Amino acid sequence: MLGAALVALLSGPASAQGVPKKVVQLHQKLLTLDSHLDTPASLDLPGWSIDEEHGVHLDYTQVDLPRMKKGGLDGGFWAIYTSQGPLTVEGFRKARDFAILRGVSIREMVAADPANFALALEAKDAAPIAAAGKRVVYMSIENAYPLGEDVSLLQTFYDMGVRVVGFAHFAHNQFADSSTDPSKKPRFGGLSPLGKQLLSEMNRLGVVPDASHSSDQVLDDLLALSTTPVLLTHSGCKAVYDHPRNIDDAHLKALAAKGGVIQMNAFGTYLKASKPNPERQKAMGALFASMREGAKVSAETRAQLLAKRQEIDRLYPDTDRATFDDFMAHMLHALKVVGPDHVGIGADWDGGGGVVGMEDVLDLPKITDALLKAGYSEADVQKIWSGNVLRVLAAAEAGKGK
């Protein structure tokens, strides 16, 4: 994810045209969950409502209730994302408070519209919620930084509803090494001693360990130490594009051997190498620098930021974006290596996800269509869309306290 205050600054127009009607009908019948929705950041935007349909080419958001219904997304894991700050008492305090308030925003979304949203706490909750025509709301944490140095704080977030936790984000923190730390050097060589304590607490509570964004050595530690399977909520394959955020085939096989699952990412710069666009990068950098993470943005300020973003798109268009075919190349490779029992979908919507041909959740039937065309059965597609991630969650529940 690019940052909670930056979530509404990505992508372009959407359409799921070209998918046969019978495939769309099948897709709508499936239980579909995305394991990494950064949409909670949108909930705190001024004047923005999850119940209203927005346009990705207008305000750059990618998920709302009308589009979920049209695109056949039953729900997923709604992330509490906190950007990496200083490893200080004050930094931890600010991050903790921000994360708790973001979690409250998710709970308030559900409470404000019980006819359309329902909180899910166990793997068995998803199917009946979807059958009732409601959207499934599991909660997750992206970046454990807000927990500070007190792993017992995880209990508070668990009580709030959190069932998946990722250890690190763009930089090393107190728990684990990041795959993309600016230093390009490991800090701990995997999990820190505190990170190992956090993993033990996660296993005790029944929280799924998420290795996305963490280094390969962190994944090694998680596979060796976790008493339950590990999830990669939004990642890709190094064999398709050698980026630090992706994992190699050996790690894919090790993940699967322990019952884990990789959920495929649609974050374009992790899918393929892109040509340099220095003018655009400079302009976007200046725009992002003008925004302070977690700051309250007025409706007027947000309108100005959107206008600036649209002007950057006009002046310096991104002409070398990843495509739907690039996304599917990663998914089909993972399926070839570990099979349909160990692959799922976590596109990183509203956090940087989205590719040409799949710009928002309206386009999700394209994934079902592509999987069927690749020879995967309806049963396989159901596993990929939700069965596998729910199995990992159920395993974490079954392992509680052991």
Query: Cα separation of 93 and 294, whole Å?
Result: 14
At 402, the amino acid letter reads: K
Closest CA to 343 of 298, 309, 391: 391
164-173, 221-230, 307-316: segment of lowest average pLDDT: 307-316
pLDDT tens figures, 182-236? 999 999 999 999 999 999 999 999 999 999 999 999 999 999 999 999 999 999 9
Whether the predicted pLDDT of 5 surpasses 60: no
Q: What is the average pLDDT across 154-176?
A: 98
Closest CA to 140 of 117, 120, 161: 161
Compute CA 93 distance to the chain's CA centroid, rounded to the nearest angstrom. 24
* Mean of the per-residue pLDDT values of the chain: 94
Q: Which residues neighbour 339 within 8 Å (Cβ) at sequence distance 6 or greater?
A: 256
Which of the four pLDDT bands, split at 50, 70 and 90, describes residue 287? confident
Closest CA to 76 of 313, 316, 364, 332: 364
Whether the predicted pLDDT of 383 surpasses 80: yes
pLDDT tens figures, 66-97? 999 999 999 999 999 999 999 999 999 999 99
209 close to 231: Cβ distance less than 8 angstroms: yes
pLDDT tens figures, 256-279? 999 999 999 999 999 999 888 889
In DSSP terms, 247 is beta-bridged to 237
Q: Provide the pLDDT for residue 7.
A: 35
Whether the predicted pLDDT of 346 surpasses 70: yes
Q: Provide the pLDDT for residue 2.
A: 38
Q: Provide the pLDDT for residue 294.
A: 60
Which of the four pLDDT bands, split at 50, 70 and 90, describes residue 299? confident
Q: What is the average pLDDT across 117-129?
A: 98
Q: Provide the pLDDT for residue 124.
A: 98
Q: Provide the pLDDT for residue 9.
A: 34
Closest CA to 212 of 173, 169, 174: 169
Angle at which helices 299-315 and 278-289 pack, to 10 degrees? Answer: 170
